[in-house]
Amino acid sequence: MRGAASVTATVNRRERTARHSDCALTDAVRVNSLDVRLDGTHVLRGLDLAVSHGEWINIIGPNGAGKTTLLRAVLGLVAYDGHISVSGLTKLRRAERARKVAYVPQTPVIPRGMLVADYVLLGRTPHRSIFAGETTGDRDIAAQVLDRLDLRGFDDRTVQSLSGGERQRTVLARALTQQADVLLLDEPTTALDLGHQQDVLELVDALRRERGLTVIATLHDLTLAARYGDQVAILAGGAIAQRGTPAQVLTAANIAEHFDAQVRVINDPEGPVIVPTTTAHSTTPAADEAASQYRHPDGGQE
C-alpha cells in the first residue's frame, strides 16, 4: 500500500508540474490568421500576433490600419475568421472574458448622470453574480485605483462634468478596477496633458511589474510607444508588417514607408525620439547622424 501511495504521489506531482509548464508556455494572447471585414472592407488579413504573460506591446500604424479593430476582435466584439485565444482559452463567455481582459476604448459609452465612484465600480461587475451588489472589498479596490490615478475626491461628481483628461483617467480606473490579467488600451493618452500622460503610463507599467499584467496598447505618439513597453509592432496592410524592440522598429525608413512621414530618429537611452522634419528645415544625412549620436554630459546619448 505504501508503495502504491508513493507511485500515486509521484504521478500527481508530475501532473502538477506538467500543468504548470503548460501554463508557463501559454501566451497571454495569441492571434492566428485573423481576418476581419467591416462593411465589406477587408480590414485585417491573416494577422498573426502572440503576446507573452507580463509583456507590453504597442501597436502602431497609420489611421485606418485596423488597430482598434484588432483590439475589438480580441474582446470578441467583432465577427472574425481565424483563431484567438486568451491564456490558451478560445471559448469564453462574456463574463469569463471580462475577468481576463479589460479594455479602455477611445470613445467610451458612459451613462448620463453616472457618478465617478459608481462608474469605476462597474469594473467589479464580472466578479459578482447577477443580483449581487458591490462588497466592501469591491469598494476598497476602486478606492485604491482612484487614489493611484489622482481621482480621489471626484467620487461624487458626474463623469460628464469632468475635463477630457479627468474623464480619460476615470475610464482607465474602471478598467484597472476590473483586475484582469490582460489590459487593452486604445489610445489611452488621448486628451491627457504631458504630466498625466506620464502618470497614466507609469501606473500601467508599475501594475504590469507588480501583477504580471499583460498590456496591448495602440498609440499614435511614436516617442511614447518607444518609451513604454517591451516591443512595438507596425500594423499595415491588414497584418503585422514588423515587430521588435523600439530601436529595431522605429527607424526613419520604416516610418517613411508606413506613415508617409519624414522624421529624424534621435537615439536616447530611454528609447528613440521621433522628430518630424520639413523640407524647409531638413538637414543633411551627416547632420542627422551627428544629432542621433549626441551625448549628454553624463555619457548618455540623446
Domains of the chain as residue ranges with CATH = 2-245 (3.40.50.300), 262-302 (no CATH)
How crowded is residue 227: how many other Cβ atoms within 10 Å of its Cβ? 19
Confidence of residue 11 (pLDDT cuts 50, 70, 90): very low
Pairing of strands 214-218, 182-186: parallel
Q: Which residues of 117-142 are buried (b: 16+ CB within 10 A; e: fewer)?
A: bbbbbbbbbbbeeeeeebeeebeebb
Spatial CA neighbour of 228 closest among 256, 197, 254, 255: 197
Q: What is the DSSP string of 149-181?
A: TT-TT-TTSBGGGS-HHHHHHHHHHHHHHT--S
Residues 239 and 46 sit within 8 Å (Cβ to Cβ)? yes
Q: pLDDT value at position 165?
A: 83
Query: What is the spatial distance between Cα 299 and Cα 223, in angstroms, rounded to a whole number?
Result: 21
Residues 254 and 242 sit within 8 Å (Cβ to Cβ)? yes
Residues 232 and 250 sit within 8 Å (Cβ to Cβ)? yes
Residues 164 and 191 sit within 8 Å (Cβ to Cβ)? yes
Position 294 pLDDT exceeds 90: no
Q: pLDDT value at position 163?
A: 87
How many residues belong to the chain? 302
- pLDDT tens-digit readout, 138-195: 999 999 999 988 898 898 999 999 988 888 889 999 999 999 999 999 999 887 888 8
The residue written with cell numbers 519624414 in the block is 262
Spatial CA neighbour of 252 closest among 231, 230, 267: 267
Query: What is the spatial distance between Cα 271 and Cα 290, in angstroms, rounded to a whole number?
Result: 17
Spatial CA neighbour of 177 closest among 118, 254, 226: 118
Confidence of residue 24 (pLDDT cuts 50, 70, 90): very low
Query: What is the spatial distance between Cα 27 and Cα 49, in angstroms, rounded to a whole number?
Result: 10
Strand order in the sheet with 231-236: 101-104, 182-186, 214-218, 56-60, 231-236, 239-244
Query: What is the spatial distance between Cα 89 and Cα 26, in angstroms, rounded to a whole number?
Result: 10
Q: pLDDT value at position 25?
A: 56
- pLDDT tens-digit readout, 219-262: 999 999 999 999 999 999 999 999 999 999 999 999 999 999 99
